[in-house]
Amino acid sequence: MLPNYGFIGLLLLAAVAFAVAPLVVVALVAPRKWSVEKGEAYECGVRTTGETWVRFRIQYYVYALLFLVFDIETIFLYPWAVSYLGLAEAGFGLFVLVEMVVFLVLLAVALVFAWAAGDLRWV
């Protein structure tokens, strides 16, 4: 098993090489002429005013929280989905099915709650 993940490691090394190589080549061959205007942030030709890294709207955080809930739910579903058909053929299908439906209903309630509370409305 471990060698198989080692192959991914080899590919990772190759990928890093493929990412670093163009940066190095560009640093060697590309011309460099620095000027104040080039160093400005792009904004319709006028000098930019004010901070860029400002506070942004809370709604992004709300979506991030909801994402966490549902993403972890999905992770739980994967091992279950792999073994479900085998369990169904062995006769445990109904039990496993009901368990999973209970789990999904709990999560659906979370989605319905967020929906009803207006958290999913982008204003």
Q: For another protein, which residue of 45, 47, 58, 85 counts as binding (CB under 8 A)?
A: 85
Kindly give, in sequence order, each residue whose CB lies less than 8 Å from that of residue 97, ignoring residues fewer than 6 positions away: 88
86 forms part of the interface with another protein (CB under 8 A):
yes
82 forms part of the interface with another protein (CB under 8 A):
yes
Tell me, residue by residue from 36 to 75, as one string, x for binding to another protein by CB under 8 A and - for no binding: x-xxxxxx----x---xx--x---x--xx-xx--xx--xx
29 forms part of the interface with another protein (CB under 8 A):
yes
For residue 87, with 0-12 CB atoms within 10 Å meaning exposed, 13-18 middle and 19 or more buried, which class applies?
A: middle
Which of helix, strand or coil describes residue 45? Answer: coil
106 forms part of the interface with another protein (CB under 8 A):
no
